[in-house]
Amino acid sequence: MPADVARQTAGRAARRQRNRRLRLGLLFISPWIVGFLVFTLYPFLATLYYSFTNYSIARSPTWVGLANYQGLMNDHLFWVSVWNTAYYTVLEVPFSTVVAIAFAMLLNMKVRGMAFYRTALYLPTVVPLVAGSVLWLWLFNPSFGIVNDALGLLHIPGPGWMFSAVWAKPTFVFMGVWAVGAPMVIYLAALQGVPQEMYEVADLEGAGPWQRTRHVTLPMISPAILFNVVLALVAAAQYFTQAFVMTQGGPDDATMFYSLYLYEQAFSYLHLGYASAMAWILFVIVVVITLLLFRFSNRWVYYANE
């Protein structure tokens, strides 16, 4: 029957068209597919395998079962690094989030010359990490640093900053404020997306500044908050460069962060299996925290489009 034949032909043409598009699409993304398989998926699985082996690159890995994980449980320095990283993360993520939002709100005010203020607050984010670390070593220098000099003017005795086991981690948190520009501009963009009418309605309802913030601003920028908090968590869990450059884990292992210890195990001692076990533990922790954040995000994240 002609109608049937026509439908069949049309169906075949559509299928051919679909396959052609599939081939084309895969062709365009093929660089990433190769990269993903070689540089992400393979190493991701290989770390898991290495974590069950004794491996030092010179000889091929030998299976040791759970020995690396058991070793870690009894490794004092491992627990120190877990504690340091947790301490830093718990301090850093809320602090930087509050600061970034507060600064973004200040930069969202209607004031002349705002371009200058925005530029000034964003500028430090382009300073190379190592140069910034060297600079803060100098500013926080306990003997000659300008920070302790300024505190001295207020008759506050300055601490030893990163040379003090107590102050070292908070010092890194304070330092992080200087580079708060990256999340700050994301919050700023989110704030600019809040419809002005909502504030007018809030004003009509007699809402004060605090109520406007609590009931209009924060719910409206909550997707940006979730986004930034997840990124900040992942970054804090892997905090490395500043500690490597400035303190190398000292004083008294107070800044021996997780990645620093992992780096030491992997590249100073070539304990690749041991370090791989550390990597997988961190991966599981990060995944669990991220999933929990997303899982409970519907309680406080507000999506206007839904």
Partner 1 sequence: MTVQPIPEIASTPIRSAAVPLQLPGRKKGRWFQRLWRQGLKHLVLLVMALLFIFPLFWMILTSLKPLPQAVTFPPTWVPHPVLWSNYPKAMASQPFGQYFYHTLVYCVTTVIGVLIASSLVAYGFSRIRWQGRDRVFFVMVATLLLPYIVTLIPLFVLYHHLGWVGSYKPLIVPTFLGSSVYSTFLLRQFFMTIPESLSEAARMDGAKELYIYSRIILPLSKPALAVVALFQFIYAWNDFLGPLIYLNKQSLYPLSLGLNEMLGTYSTNWSWLMAASTVATMPMIILFFLTQKTFIQGITLTGVKG
Whole-number minimum distance, CB 3 to partner 1, in Å?
Answer: 28
Instruction: Specify the residue, 50 or 78, whose C-beta has the smaller distance to partner 1.
Output: 50
Instruction: Specify the residue, 87 or 215, whose C-beta has the smaller distance to partner 1.
Output: 215
Going from the C-alpha of 233 to that of each of 45, 102, 225, 286, the distances in angstroms are 23, 19, 12, 8
Q: By three-state DSSP, how is residue 243 classified?
A: helix
Please name the residue ranges forming H helices in 195-266.
196-204, 209-212, 218-220, 222-237, 241-246, 258-263
Whole-number minimum distance, CB 161 to partner 1, in Å?
Answer: 14
Instruction: Specify the residue, 221 or 254, whose C-beta has the smaller distance to partner 1.
Output: 221
Instruction: Specify the residue, 74 or 143, whose C-beta has the smaller distance to partner 1.
Output: 143
Quote the tokens at residue 1: 């029957």
Residue 183, classified by CB atoms within 10 Å of its CB into exposed (0-12), middle (13-18) or buried (19+), is buried
Contact assessment for residue 185 and residue 199, using Cβ atoms and an 8 Å cutoff: no
Whole-number minimum distance, CB 4 to partner 1, in Å?
Answer: 26
Whole-number minimum distance, CB 137 to partner 1, in Å?
Answer: 8
Contacts (Cβ under 8 Å, ≥6 apart) of 245: 129, 130, 133, 134
Contact assessment for residue 62 and residue 193, using Cβ atoms and an 8 Å cutoff: no
**Cα angle value 199/200/205 (rounded, 5°):** 95
Instruction: Specify the residue, 39 or 296, whose C-beta has the smaller distance to partner 1.
Output: 39
Whole-number minimum distance, CB 284 to partner 1, in Å?
Answer: 10
Q: What share of the chain is helix, strand, coil (3-state, %, to 5)?
A: 75, 0, 25
Instruction: Specify the residue, 2 or 241, whose C-beta has the smaller distance to partner 1.
Output: 241
Whole-number minimum distance, CB 75 to partner 1, in Å?
Answer: 17
